[in-house]
Amino acid sequence: MRFHPRLLDTLPGYNRTQFAHDAGAGITVGVLALPLAMAFAIASGMSPTAGIWTAIVAGFLISLLGGSRVQIGGPTGAFIPIIYAIVIDYGVANLLIASMLAGMILIAMGAFRLGGMIRFIPISVVIGFTNGIAVVIFLSQIKDFLGLQIDQLPGEFFSKVSTLAGALGTTHLPTVALATASLALLIGWNRLAQHIRWMRRLPGPLGVLVVGTAATALFNLPVDTIGSRFGGIPQAVPALAFPELDLSNLGKLIAPALTIAMLGAIESLLSARVADGQIDDRHDPNQELLAQGAANLIAPLFGGFAATGAIARTATNVRSGGRTPVAGIIHSVVLLAVVLALAPLAHHIPLATLSAIVVMVSVHMGEWHAFKTLGRFSAAYRTVLLSTFFITVVFDLTLAVELGLVMASLFFIHRVSDLTRIEPVPQDNAGIDPRIQVFRLFGSLFFGAANKLESLLVAADTRPAVIVLSLDKVINIDTTGLEILQNLHRTLAKQGASLVLCGLNAQPASLIARSGFATQLGEANIVGSLEAALARASACAAKAGELSPSPLGGASPVP
């Protein structure tokens, strides 16, 4: 494919006015991204430093190389359960390797132009695993929200719930009070901002982070902070280093890497498509996948981890006036400047406040209204959505998506099979030979509807001399459907009868010609209209008694 970042399209004619809009948007999004990057990293079992450098490096590359004008990249809440599980099972070094493998997969998907394929994932699967991820994220925050004394929270659902329940007796009241106050302030931030001018200048998450940090430092609150748990944030650019590779674990990381790649592709392209509607533009999905791949390949070299397009930050960028990738680049520069200038202040950031921010994200990311409207949709839709949701929460996101796609495919096959039918066409014309049977097929003649045509192979009370199949209502035939037609032709030939096809649409006609079946059947037995088919059938029926014996023991149809 052609490598062409959208940044190149926006540079011609770029002016100071547009730069001013992009700079304002970039600063706003950069300020918003700071608390989110730290919160998502901590919830994923990583250090806040890893989250910040993921946002800096991945955000820069996604804007520089991406296929969207306004996409903002970085760590997102959707990755939390995946990253946490990999860290628990394989360690941080192997997480970085898995992220790099995911980057290679995304680059390959973009190079082979698979960006459009992501749109084929059913909405029921997307909503099911999105809501499931939201629940998993919420559960992961109970420990820090309540200040529970747990060394390491298990990744498996039942063990996690059991551990949380067993540790409820260690609930730390000052932590609960700070987390609850932070969550309440976050919920009411926009309402308060209508009456307090300075609050309008800060995004809610950053404002709550500032207030929570100030309260912790001024009153010396006895709560866990970034300083007490992680030792603070280094005020320097991390050394470029390749993560240690353990070849014995490489095979085990393929499945997690595929999960990271698929979720990253889905979320980034969904974010880009939402942004398109806001700015009246159209992104390049394959170029976007290339950028996402490069971001996930390079960010781990700086200690970062999996990244993708962030819907909330992208929407904030658009609302703030960003219209070119320059805004996303500035967002990364702002984060870099904050780290280099203000890193020591992060020592007092309370984990309870960061936990409240992630809880708010989990509540907002779920499409909870979908549960209320389930009754309006089919049983297949409800089954796929609820199954995907349940498996995501209780077992594993990868398994949930796989089973969701399989179930959705099976329901689709069943539905299309129901729509495929074959009906006899009555012939009122007295001149038509009664030994001619005419049938019209509707829908798609594929492997899921094979039984519909096989009924014609069952011997009837009076064997027909000719069967006419009108296929003008058939939109598609696959190789299984073609084989059924061939079997019908061979069975009729053994009986000294003929098969006539008429009204073939483009795809069925092409397959029948390419497979050689048109030659086997005889070009004269493939006609355009039902009238022509009846005429041909009448000729075949009239000569049925003159047929020569066939090599199979029956008779051969009239050529």
Question: Residue 448 maps to which CATH number?
Answer: 3.30.750.24
Q: Looking at the structure, do residues 355 and 426 belong to the same domain, yes or no?
A: no
Of 324, 344, 365, the residue at which a domain comes to its end is 365
Summarize pLDDT for 373-417 with one digit per residue, the tens: 999 999 999 999 999 999 999 988 778 888 999 999 999 988 888
Summarize pLDDT for 316-339 with one digit per residue, the tens: 899 889 999 999 999 999 999 999
- Does the structure show a pLDDT above 70 at 364? yes
Summarize pLDDT for 94-150 with one digit per residue, the tens: 999 999 999 999 999 999 999 888 778 888 988 998 899 899 989 999 999 999 999
What are the backbone dihedrals phi and psi of residue 460, each rounded to the nearest 5 degrees, phi first?
-95, 175
pTM: 0.79
In a domain, 347, yes or no: yes
Q: Looking at the structure, do residues 72 and 140 belong to the same domain, yes or no?
A: yes
Distances (CA, A) of 408 to 115, 431, 442: 20, 49, 23
In a domain, 406, yes or no: no
In a domain, 370, yes or no: no
Element (H, E) at 514: helix 506-514
Q: Looking at the structure, do residues 267 and 191 belong to the same domain, yes or no?
A: yes
CA angle 302, 304, 305 (to 5 degrees): 140
Q: What percent of the chain has pLDDT over 70?
A: 94
In a domain, 120, yes or no: yes
Q: Looking at the structure, do residues 167 and 276 belong to the same domain, yes or no?
A: yes
Q: Looking at the structure, do residues 431 and 305 belong to the same domain, yes or no?
A: no
Q: Looking at the structure, do residues 265 and 347 belong to the same domain, yes or no?
A: yes
Summarize pLDDT for 196-230 with one digit per residue, the tens: 888 877 788 988 999 999 999 999 999 999 999 99
Q: Looking at the structure, do residues 440 and 520 belong to the same domain, yes or no?
A: yes
Domain count within the chain: 2
In a domain, 62, yes or no: yes
Is residue 548 within 8 Å of residue 556, measured between CB atoms? yes
Q: Looking at the structure, do residues 358 and 428 belong to the same domain, yes or no?
A: no
Give the separation between CA 94 and CA 554, rounded to whole angstroms.
68
**C-alpha torsion sign, points 3, 5, 8, 9:** positive
In a domain, 383, yes or no: no
Give the separation between CA 48 and CA 55, rounded to whole angstroms.
11
Q: Which domain holds residue 356?
A: 16-365
Where in 315-465 does DSSP place strands (E)?
421-424, 436-445
Q: Looking at the structure, do residues 356 and 427 belong to the same domain, yes or no?
A: no
Q: Is 188 helix (H, G, I), strand (E, B) or coil?
A: helix
In a domain, 451, yes or no: yes
Q: Looking at the structure, do residues 326 and 215 belong to the same domain, yes or no?
A: yes
Q: Looking at the structure, do residues 431 and 357 belong to the same domain, yes or no?
A: no
- Does the structure show a pLDDT above 60 at 558? no
Q: pLDDT category, 456, cuts 50, 70, 90?
A: low
Of 331, 365, 399, the residue at which a domain comes to its end is 365
Q: Looking at the structure, do residues 437 and 333 belong to the same domain, yes or no?
A: no
In a domain, 349, yes or no: yes
Of 320, 340, 365, the residue at which a domain comes to its end is 365
